[in-house]
Structure formats: C-alpha cells, structure tokens
C-alpha cells in the first residue's frame, strides 16, 4: 500500500512533462520570429511606402509623429501584424481598409525605415502569418527631433 507522499512522488514526473512540452513550444515560437533589426523590408518597398504615405496619409499625419523612441517603444514586443492591423482597420480616416494590403505593408516599411531599422534584401510580405513573425524591438535609430526629409 502506497502512502500519500509516495504517490505524489510517483506522479510528479508525469505532471512536469506537459510543462516541459509547453516550454519547448514557446522556445520554438521565439526561434521562428524575426526582429525588425534583421532587415525585414526592402529599400524599394520603403520608397513605395513613402509615395503611398505622401498621397494617403500626409494631409493628416506628419512622419515625425511615427518616429523615434517616444513612438516606437510603445510597440516594442508587439508584432508588425499588430501595427499593420491597427493602421489597416483605422486608416484612412473615414474610409478604413480602402487600400490594398500591399499598400499598408509598404507604409509599414516606410515607418520602419524612418525609425532607422535596417533594410533587407527581400520585401516584407503582407499576409497575416508573415507579419505575425516580425517582432518590433529597438534600438531605434532615428532622432525624432531631426526627422528625415521627404523625398520630392
């Protein structure tokens, strides 16, 4: 006949196995995500984003609103998808979601470029799954008191 203490010791390893599996899964998820610091957009994409931004956003939003630690630290730890979705579902004001997904992704690439995130070779994809894999994190390279000039 087993005592209560012995029974607890006998089943303890079984209770820990699911915790170990969950922990391994969490580490795996972290390993599959990519930091914005890894170059998640292309230069051409950011330039397209600047043009879309100028046409669709500039009447209401100056680029300096979206650059530097004061803005980006609020997004630290979030995914690019969260910022993409907030923009897509609320802008343009009065007619959200009017633009194509690619246009919103291009604008996001432009915002990343304004914040000094490194340029990569490939374009940032606009599908939900890809955007959910991109983590926003500093350091933030652009000084908001000295924003980049708009291209003419």
Q: Are 6 and 69 found together in one domain?
A: no
Overall pTM surpassing 0.85 (yes/no): no
Please check whether residue 140 is in contact with residue 116, taking contact to mean a CB–CB distance below 8 angstroms. Answer: yes
**97: in domain:** yes
Q: Are 45 and 115 found together in one domain?
A: yes
Q: What is the pLDDT tens value at each position of the chain, 152 positions in all?
A: 545 444 433 433 333 333 333 333 333 355 589 999 999 999 999 999 999 999 999 999 999 999 989 899 999 999 999 999 999 999 999 999 999 999 999 999 999 999 999 999 999 999 999 999 999 998 876 544 444 444 43
Residue 106 tokens, joined = 């291009």
Q: Are 39 and 92 found together in one domain?
A: yes
Q: What is the pLDDT of residue 11?
A: 38
Q: Are 52 and 108 found together in one domain?
A: yes
Q: CA angle, 139 as apex, 138 and 141 as ends, to 5°?
A: 120
**119: in domain:** yes
Q: What is the pLDDT of residue 18?
A: 35
Q: What is the pLDDT of residue 141?
A: 63
Number of domains in the chain: 2
Q: Are 28 and 43 found together in one domain?
A: no
Which range of residues forms the domain containing residue 18?
Answer: 1-32
Q: What is the pLDDT of residue 139?
A: 85
Q: CA angle, 141 as apex, 124 and 60 as ends, to 5°?
A: 70
Q: Are 12 and 72 found together in one domain?
A: no
**148: in domain:** no
Residues 6+ apart with CB under 8 A from 29: none
Q: How far apart are CA 63 and CA 67, in angstroms?
A: 7
């Amino acid at each position: 006949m087993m005592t209560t203490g012995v029974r607890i010791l006998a089943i303890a390893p079984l209770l820990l196995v699911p915790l170990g599996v969950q922990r391994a899964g969490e580490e795996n998820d972290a390993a599959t995500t990519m930091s914005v610091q890894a170059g998640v957009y292309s230069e051409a994409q950011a330039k397209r984003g600047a043009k879309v931004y100028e046409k669709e956003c500039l009447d209401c939003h100056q680029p300096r609103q979206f650059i530097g630690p004061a803005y980006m630290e609020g997004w630290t730890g979030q995914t690019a998808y969260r910022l993409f979705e907030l923009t897509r579902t609320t802008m343009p004001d009065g007619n959200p979601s009017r633009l194509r997904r690619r246009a919103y992704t291009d604008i996001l690439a432009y915002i990343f470029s304004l914040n000094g995130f490194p340029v990569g070779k490939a374009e940032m994809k606009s599908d939900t799954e890809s955007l959910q894999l991109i983590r926003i994190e500093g350091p933030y390279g652009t000084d908001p008191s000295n924003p980049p000039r708009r291209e003419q």
